[in-house]
Structure 1
């Protein structure tokens, strides 16, 4: 679509603008707001824990798009957040602005929040800046996973140029507990086979659990293995962090799914198709 309000203006491509916010209390939904291409669905589930499924109706992200997701569970509540499908960051014109995604997560005292989006697939010349921030109470239980796929192996895609800035911050009881800044550009991709960088992988993931006693689960997660997946597991001071990489998105997805099932002792959200 073109936006040309005045004949003298240069043609400008339409851009995505979307906001979806959900607040869940201990007794159920307290607030739901959605605007533009961002939608939040609450499907019927068999579990006692409700699920929120975020959806970007534009079908993907390109230069200049903006999405804002916010998920909050109040004291003693429980909530699972996910996405309806893989998010896709498509090609951007040279010199174009980044697509921007903001994810804000909040868990009150005694609450449980699982943020389990499906993978983000990046295409050649994509530009994406994403910021995920979690604010959790000292005794809250917070689990997250993030997967990034640099092109689809089954489609013969090899990514040579893109820009990804993906930053995660977790604050527990007002104190910074975890920060993970990830930057991928053409320079790093040129060295993708370096064992200190991607080591030839095109799919990477981080899973983190922040809860009292989380470190004790490390011994359950370490034995999990999948062919072609390399992973490291660390547990300390109420934190469990797993980082994994694979030559394609499918084996990584299977590994992450098994890790999440082991940590949660429950099935994944229904929208996850394995």
Structure 2
């Protein structure tokens, strides 16, 4: 555990490695430094490993640095999620940074399904997710956010969050995305259109069938879009309330998981607590 020069910030990292052994995926590497860890693995689907990522402090403040690395070895099957929303608190100047590096080897299946991130008024955050896949790997991942606390009347009228996603297959970039949100972007018609809550879902490999499935799920829902580019499915949605967006993500996942991962949905038990 190390503390930054500010005297009140955390640096923490977590390394997880999965391998397939005798037809079952095992968590063979689990190293952590600082306040990041995981619960014991769960096997509600038999051979597929569910892991819950824990951040005991309960929130991230300016200056904190979190680094998460997940490697799913060849033929392994793993799902990583979180037990609760991530909270990013007001900063007096320093930015918090969360970096996530995900890798899946040949014929592996990896799912990255964290619960939403809540950005409090005045938060300054850089969030990075880098995904590296073998061509025969399978991946579903999502990211959802809530700016301010709409239910409490707290607007995100100051602060800034920068999001960076990259997805590569055999080192070939399928997606490199950067966008930043502040009060202006939140309100703008060309930005988040005044909707403080949003989400993006990615899936690889995706077929025209996957695209049709998510469009059926979304129906005529406003502020929703989906496309497939180079076998990568990208879905985006905005909302003014978190619960409808949570339900939408789960229903999109339910629709495409059989096609992408080859299994029906099995909800992580921690989501029900």
Same fold at TM > 0.5: yes
Correspondence 1:14 to 2:13: no
Aligned residues: 259
Structure 2 CA distance for partners of 1:111 and 1:124, relative to 1, 3 Å? same
1:29 maps to which residue? 27
Structure 2 CA distance for partners of 1:66 and 1:161, relative to 1, 3 Å? same
CA distance in 2, matches of 1:229, 1:97: 36
Structure 2 CA distance for partners of 1:47 and 1:103, relative to 1, 3 Å? same
2:98 maps to which residue? 101
Q: For residues 1-274 of structure 1, what are the structure 2 equivalents within 5 Å? A: 12-27=6-21, 28-48=26-46, 49-93=48-92, 96-189=93-186, 192=187, 194-211=188-205, 213-225=206-218, 230-264=223-257, 265-273=264-272
CA distance in 2, matches of 1:227, 1:39: 40
Deviations 1:206-240 (A, max 9, x none): 001011x4342111110113897521111243111
Unaligned runs of 5+ in 1: 4-10
SS in 2 for 1:69: strand
SS in 2 for 1:272: helix
Unaligned runs of 5+ in 2: 258-263
2:260 maps to which residue? none
CA distance in 1, matches of 2:272, 2:164: 26
Structure 2 CA distance for partners of 1:269 and 1:142, relative to 1, 3 Å? same
Deviation at 1:165, TM superposition (A): 0.7
CA distance in 1, matches of 2:207, 2:74: 20
Checking the alignment, whether the CA contact within 8 Å between 1:112 and 1:142 is kept in structure 2 is yes
Please, what is the CA RMSD of the aligned residues? Answer: 1.9
TM-score by length of 2: 0.89
| Structure number, greater radius of gyration | 1
